[in-house]
Amino acid sequence: ATACLFEEAGAVVSDVYGQPLDLNRPDSTFMNHRGAVYATDENLANRIREILTQSE
């Protein structure tokens, strides 16, 4: 529900790789297996993703 609310408000919602969140997985109730990014705009989301994936 939070992803939908944030998207409707105009925020950016994705995993740390810029892909849509993998919701309603049959094998898990967790949506954070690839991380979750909620940001007010695409520039901020890109910077957050960059920081989170630096060590890979």
- Show me where the domains of the chain are located: 2-52
**Number of CB atoms found within 10 A of residue 31's CB:** 16
Q: What is the pLDDT of residue 22?
A: 84
Paired tokens of 40: 């007010």
Q: Does the structure show a pLDDT above 70 at 28?
A: yes
Across the range 27-39, mean pLDDT stands at 83
Mean pLDDT of 37-56: 92
Please name the residue ranges forming H helices in 1-56.
2-8, 42-52
Q: Model confidence at 12, in pLDDT bands (50, 70, 90)?
A: very high
CA-wise closest residue to 50 among 18, 13, 3: 18
Q: What residues contact 15, with CB distance under 8 A and at least 6 apart?
A: 21, 22, 34, 35, 36, 37
Would you place residue 37 in the very low, low, confident or very high pLDDT band (cuts 50, 70, 90)? Answer: very high
